[in-house]
Amino acid sequence: MEYFFTPPEKIQKDFLFIENDEAKHLTRVLRKVVGDTIWVTDGLDNSYEVVIRAIHNELVECEIVRHFFRKNESWLNLTLAFSVLKNPSRNDWIIEKGTEIGIRNFIPIFTSRTISQSAKEERWQQIALSAMKQSCRSYQPKISSAKDFNELLIEKNNYDLKLIPHEQTDRILFVSEVIRFQQKAKEILVVIGPEGGFSNEEILSAEKNNFIQVSLGRRRLRSETAAIVSSTLILGSH
């Protein structure tokens, strides 16, 4: 079943409207016709089973059959803060795959070893939108403005648990072990470092600001791999 997007202001009690490029894709590419059933989300946790009732040039009118809240969504809110990587395609991959597995928010960060100083928030938001529809989610992850790592550490927040994966596996717990002891945590932040990893000073600063070091295993992972592995382990535990 195909998923489509329409903003909240286009949704009424019994009907909703799909417009512009989304409507053209629906009718001209996918060849949907009056009477077809499709799924539509507003990207804010609401999804709708609807029937197409009318098709105009760049507008599709749909009758709402059923409404669902947080369909295909975890009740855990995971935020991924990731150091912007030198290769733009790897940043895109983090956003795409992170959206598919259920991450709610992305925060691009710059650390002492970050090579790239360019964040593409607008592009990433479009990637998240496409990945949301492809994976049949009802929430479009938010892409925050890029910020310095130290700014992230000291800002006020409502996270129940803050994790920072680190490759020194001889003295820290595996991420799944930490999560098992933190079952009540619903708002979780995980921070992933750049190609060269976090500096020792950054790890110490994170610990002073209530971050817990966790291990992802004995093998060294690329930053983008660590982002998806850690997020999958966290989301899979709830």
Q: What is the span of the domain harbouring residue 57?
A: 3-69
Helices vs. strands in the chain: H and E counts, helices first: 7, 12
Q: What pLDDT was estimated at residue 118?
A: 83
3-class DSSP state of 137: coil
Q: What percent of the chain has pLDDT over 90?
A: 80
Task: Tell me: pLDDT of 169 over 60.
Answer: no
Same domain, 115 and 204: yes
Same domain, 60 and 86: no
- Nearest of 120, 111, 126 to residue 145 by alpha carbon: 120
Among 48-62, 167-181, 213-227, top mean pLDDT goes to 48-62
The CATH number given to whatever domain includes residue 64 is 2.40.240.20
3-class DSSP state of 26: helix
Q: What band does 238 get if pLDDT is binned at 50, 70 and 90?
A: low
Domain boundary among 45, 69, 93: 69
Same domain, 88 and 133: yes
Please state whether the predicted TM-score (pTM) of the whole model is above 0.95: no
Q: What pLDDT was estimated at residue 171?
A: 61
CA distance 229 to 83: 15
What is the pLDDT of the chain when averaged over all its residues? Answer: 93
Domain boundary among 69, 97, 115: 69
Of 70-79, 82-91, 204-213, 216-225, the one with minimum mean pLDDT is 216-225
Domain boundary among 69, 96, 121: 69
Same domain, 208 and 118: yes
Q: Which residues of 171-199 are buried (b: 16+ CB within 10 A; e: fewer)?
A: ebeebeebbeebeebbbbbbbbbbbebbe
pLDDT tens sequence across 19-57: 999 999 999 999 999 999 999 999 999 999 999 999 998
C-beta separation of 101 from 232 below 8 A: yes
Same domain, 199 and 215: yes
Dihedral (C-alpha) 175, 178, 181, 185: value to the nearest 10 degrees?
-80
> Exposed, middle or buried by CB within 10 Å (0-12, 13-18, 19+), for 215?
buried
Q: What pLDDT was estimated at residue 170?
A: 59
Residues 6 or more apart whose CB falls under 8 angstroms from that of 156 comprise none
Element (H, E) at 53: strand 46-55
How many domains does the chain contain in total? 2
CA distance 94 to 113: 19
Same domain, 168 and 100: yes
Same domain, 156 and 184: yes
Same domain, 59 and 84: no
pLDDT tens sequence across 93-145: 999 999 999 999 999 999 999 988 888 999 999 999 999 999 999 999 999 99
Q: What band does 156 get if pLDDT is binned at 50, 70 and 90?
A: confident
